[in-house]
Amino acid sequence: MNAKIVRWICGVGAARLMLPLLILWLSAYTEAVAQNFWQQTNGPYGGTTLTVFSFAINSAGDIFASTNGGGVFRSTNNGGSWAAVNTGLTNTFVNAIAINASGHIFAGALDRVFRSTNNGDSWTAVYTSLTSSFVVALAINASGHIFAGTRDGGVFRSMDSGDSWTAGNTGLTGTFVVALAINASGHIFAGTFGSGVFRSTDNGGSWTAVNIGLSTPFVAAFAINASGHIFAGTRDGGVFRSMDNGDSWTAVNTGLTNTLVLDFAINASGHIFAGTGGGVFRSTNNGGSWTAVNTGLTRSIVYDLAINASGHIFTGILDGGVFRSTNNGDSWTAVNTGLTNTLVLALAINASGHIFAGTGGSGVFRSTNNGGSWTAVNAGLRTPSVIALAINASGHIFAGTNGGGIFRSTNNGGSWTDANNGLTDTEIYALAINASGHVFAGTAGSGVFRSTNNGDSWAEVNTGLTRHGFVALAINASGHIFAGTFGNGVFRSMDNGDNWTAASAGLTASIVFALAINASGHIFAGTDSGGVFRSTHNGDSWTADNTGLTSTDVQALAINTSGYIFAGTAGDGVFRSVQSTTAVRARETVNVIPSSFELAQNHPNPFNPATTINYGLPQQARVKLEIFDIGGRLVRTLVNHHQPAGRYTVTWDGRNEQGQVVVSGIFIYQFRAGDFVRTRRMALVQ
């Protein structure tokens, strides 16, 4: 399974860790350097719904939700609709959010803290002396002092509204602080990942471990009721309660069938709601017993809970966005309008100029107004993940799906039927049709298939192809077929697919998700980390065309009859070239020091037993490259020293710091160079 599909299936919120944004590209410029090559279109919103990590509600009832890649969203109508409010927010992976008495909002992100003084309309980074950049938790006391719990630096305190920070860790032996809470007396409680609970009675000046009766050291959440009773949610021990300010703890889990407790909320009646790995539980007797209250919840992992002044409860669900209950948790309704990803995996344009977009979770969308608006067209399409699209001379549309094989529509997307006879691999990553109407399909692991009868039957055509995933196909006016691969760049066939040879010179990104060819015969390649590349001479060499393209993870490409190219991205929707591609020529800068910090997707991915990571430095910097597991625990430090400007390659052999081979799973690698921080996800398959 290739990286495109692994990212979608695994989701983008499997833990309070960030999906990485990685860039490895060959420097290239258009002759009109001052003008962007790309501009963004509207939608479509077809990816999985975002995961909400944290809520905050201001005095006006406005709800703010921090997400796993979409930044901060705001709802001014009780969750009825959401709008992204990210101006100035340079990192959209936001773990925590809090609001002070003045209404100033603080967002804890992957690499720093941000502050908004205008209700989220704009943000400013406030992280002076905040030496640990991974902020996991935030809390604000009655004096307006802000406390930030971090992954590896313990607790930091700001007494000037975030302008500066001071570490306050005396006595705090656990530096991975996942949760913070402050009681009416101003005592601060810190929940750590591995060292239990700590308490500070002097405004964070010093800390004391308070773990008597707490049978697990992994504390993920706190809540404090009006009586001062403290509830601690743990990773593997359920809920613990302290009725003596943390001096001792007792497990209170009767009826709680899932012991992974990630958050709490308490309403005006003292009812406690616990968000768990198995949905929401409610206690009406101070934690004495719990009842599952999950009617209407479509997913089970609950990251966050919040209750507004009207008693309405909001819950953030893994890949499920936001659900609301207006009846004390008895039932839930999804309230996700506007809270969506824009994961566009495939594009195709018919003779009428209608654009079709295949998405990672919502099937096919059609635009009849040049990308201005989009409508879902999915009747009969049984698989919602559409990875490839192609249209023949008769206007028949072919859709390649993840696990459902190929579907065909003969009525402009009005309805779909499957066309899989002879197709032994149902993970279809690419489709293309030549002038004779022959259809070619690139698959996950079985190479390329060809149909000479409009998709009624298929046969393999793989001579010369190395059988990695084939994720892109395109055919030029001469009938030459180009195949983009997962890990081996581009291959070319000049005899209708009977034989293939490599054609990747200058293509510095090896994973090619999309290919398209314009009327001049220029070939465009959309890549996983290098944006868009173009070849003006039949694939013999390639240069980059990325000015104005804010996402370099390009999943889909299409060109209309006017020569405008559309690029579907993972996270930023669809981009359109500013001018016709036949009017712009690229020139290449080869073997230069990169103009900005760069980090690429590891290759291969998924991998076994080893993988390589490439990065670039525009200037000398101290570099730190680390591997973490999905729970945020450090697995291996690959680089930790100063390096001169240049490009580098590092290999990870799948072993931890102790030299032991790690088990299969999803891992996060984080690259730091000066103030530059980027992370990305990779999969080890043993």
Give the tens place of pLDDT for each residue, 607-653: 888 888 988 888 888 889 999 998 788 998 888 877 778 888 888 88
pLDDT at 422 over 80: yes
544 Cβ contact list (under 8 Å, min separation 6) = 25, 26, 27, 28, 530, 531, 532, 533, 534, 586
244 Cβ contact list (under 8 Å, min separation 6) = none
Alpha carbon distance 30, 565 (integer Å): 15
Alpha carbon distance 338, 65 (integer Å): 12
SS3 583: helix
- Is the alpha carbon torsion for 365, 69, 607, 625 positive or negative? positive
Do 71 and 116 form a contact (C-beta atoms < 8 A)?
A: no
In which element (H, E) is residue 8 found?
helix 3-10
Residue 287 structure tokens: 């934690």
Residue 605 structure tokens: 């991915």
Q: What is the pLDDT of residues 451-488, one digit of tens each?
A: 999 999 999 998 988 766 777 888 988 889 999 888 88
**For residues 526 and 5, which has the higher predicted lDDT (pLDDT)?**
526
Mean pLDDT across the stretch 654-670?
86
Other CB atoms within a 10 A radius of the CB of residue 101 amount to: 10
Beta strands in 244-311 (DSSP E): 250-251, 261-266, 272-276, 279-283, 291-292, 302-307
pLDDT at 573 over 80: no
Nearest C-alpha neighbor of 326 from the set 79, 65, 62? 79
Residue 578 structure tokens: 């500013």
Do 609 and 584 form a contact (C-beta atoms < 8 A)?
A: no
Alpha carbon distance 375, 9 (integer Å): 24
Q: What residue spans of 80-132 are helical by DSSP H?
A: none
In which element (H, E) is residue 5 found?
helix 3-10
- Residues 465-489: b if buried by 16+ CB within 10 A, e if exposed: beebbbbbbbbbeeebbbbbbbbbb
Q: What residue spans of 579-657 are helical by DSSP H?
A: none
In which element (H, E) is residue 647 found?
strand 646-652
> CA–CA distance from 37 to each of 44, 226, 336, 521 (Å)?
21, 58, 33, 19
Domains and CATH numbers, the chain: 344-588 (2.120.10.30), 591-686 (2.60.40.1930)
pLDDT at 236 over 80: yes
Do 275 and 305 form a contact (C-beta atoms < 8 A)?
A: yes
Burial class from Cβ neighbours inside 10 Å (0-12, 13-18, 19+) for residue 60 reads exposed
Q: What is the pLDDT of residues 20-70, one digit of tens each?
A: 222 121 122 223 233 566 776 666 655 555 678 888 999 999 999 888 767
> CA–CA distance from 199 to each of 202, 518, 627 (Å)?
9, 65, 31
> CA–CA distance from 528 to each of 104, 381, 569 (Å)?
37, 27, 9
Residue 576 structure tokens: 């359109």
Q: What is the pLDDT of residues 619-629, one digit of tens each?
A: 888 889 999 99
Alpha carbon distance 103, 80 (integer Å): 22
SS3 10: helix
The per-residue pLDDT for 579 is: 65
The per-residue pLDDT for 1 is: 31
For the question of whether the overall pTM of this predicted structure is more than 0.75, the answer is: no
- The pairs formed by 533-536 with CB atoms below 8 angstroms and a separation of 24 or more are 533/26, 533/506, 533/507, 533/509, 534/581, 534/586, 536/585, 536/586
In the sheet with 94-99, reading across from the earlier edge strand, the strands are 94-99, 105-109, 113-116, 124-125
The per-residue pLDDT for 644 is: 79
Alpha carbon distance 637, 641 (integer Å): 11
Q: Which amino acid is at 204?
A: G
Alpha carbon distance 591, 469 (integer Å): 29
User: What letter does residue 6 receive in the DSSP assignment?
Assistant: H
- What are φ and ψ of residue 457, in 5° steps? -150, 160
Q: State what percent of residues in the chain have pLDDT above 70.
A: 88
In the sheet with 375-376, reading across from the earlier edge strand, the strands are 344-349, 355-359, 364-367, 375-376
Alpha carbon distance 367, 412 (integer Å): 11
Q: What is the pLDDT of residues 114-129, one digit of tens each?
A: 999 999 999 999 988 8
Alpha carbon distance 340, 51 (integer Å): 9
The per-residue pLDDT for 438 is: 94
Residue 349 structure tokens: 């344009």
Tell me if the bond preceding 594 is cis, omega within 30° of 0.
Answer: no
Nearest C-alpha neighbor of 557 from the set 576, 578, 542? 576
What is the average pLDDT value for the chain, to the nearest integer?
84
pLDDT band at 137 (very low <50, low <70, confident <90, very high): very high
Alpha carbon distance 523, 526 (integer Å): 10
**For residues 293 and 610, which has the higher predicted lDDT (pLDDT)?**
293
- What are φ and ψ of residue 307, in 5° steps? -130, 130
Alpha carbon distance 11, 5 (integer Å): 10
pLDDT at 362 over 80: no
pLDDT at 300 over 90: no
Do 299 and 318 form a contact (C-beta atoms < 8 A)?
A: yes
The per-residue pLDDT for 319 is: 62
pLDDT at 398 over 70: yes
Q: What residue spans of 343-466 are helical by DSSP H?
A: none
Residue 171 structure tokens: 């006595």
pLDDT band at 660 (very low <50, low <70, confident <90, very high): confident
Q: What is the pLDDT of residues 248-277, one digit of tens each?
A: 999 999 999 999 999 999 999 999 999 999
Residue 82 CA, chain-centre distance (Å), reads 18
The per-residue pLDDT for 16 is: 28
Q: Give the chain's length.
A: 686
